[in-house]
Structure 1
Amino acid sequence: MASFSIAVAFGVRLLLVLLFLPFSALDKILNFRGAVGQARQAVHSTGPATVLILIGLFVEIVMSLGILTGIADRFAAFVLAGYCGVTALLWKQFWKPGDFWSGGKGRELFWDFWKNLALAGGFLLVTFGTGASTVATFFSDPFASSNPYSISETAR
């Protein structure tokens, strides 16, 4: 039963980061020029857009690995939650096209915006856990591991 519990814990974490590692990170690598072009929509200059994409790659790869391995996983999840929020605000601005009610691009961005925020909520669950008392635990040692793959006798 212990190995099943570990597999479930890993599987849940994998589902949470699968969008970023490998898919989004690989897309940024294979279509780097296109990714920079998309980032230019927010910053209007190639240099800063390139830096944003490189930071995004770092976040998507390193933080996803942190969540999967359990190494500083709460901090990694906190960073990815912020990343999802910033991405929603910068690139999923459903209010800008002005065609929300006619079913245009604004409607599509609306759902992407809320998906990003929902994903941020999932990462915050990894960060803080499910109880109010765990918030203080995170802020007292944000780089500590949550030890997601340890089996304790009291966890039954």
Structure 2
Amino acid sequence: MYTEIEQQNLDIDWFFTDNNEIAFVASAGGKLPETIAKLGVENGVLSSYFKGLPEISEIIINPQLKDIIPDVNEAYLSDFINMAKKGIYAFDKTVLNNFFDSNYHLVVNPKTPLKLEDLSSDILEIILKTQFDEKLKNTKRIDISNFKK
């Protein structure tokens, strides 16, 4: 379980699904969805699993990213690009240092998304705990208040 203090002070990597494809989010000190806050150690299992996957996809950097973050650079993009190359959509917190702001933006998406059917059963069981109601392929922004409880 992640406490609110941990959530406010850490940049926690977390994952969710649209019940078909997978996304990665960097929390940047933001409030986590309830399902992620409850995961605790299991979230670390997801993070290790996805970071260890091979690259399977070319990527597309969000063409509107410069409008959201004017000084985008390679150092900023690095982790997001690494996840997208594994077939995972990559999102970042839009308003930094505002714990209660629940908005995130797409940074990079994969051309060839990783599918739930490609996951092992133990990973599938964990990621299905955090589901998003919209299709990732059509999503440029997310609001974590829209996650299923």
TM-score range, shorter chain: under 0.3
Q: Larger Rg: 1 or 2?
A: 1
Task: Determine which structure has greater relative contact order: mean sequence separation of CA pairs < 8 Å that are 6+ residues apart, divided by chain length.
Answer: 2
More helix, by proportion: 1
More strand, by proportion: 2
The normalised TM-score by structure 1 is 0.26
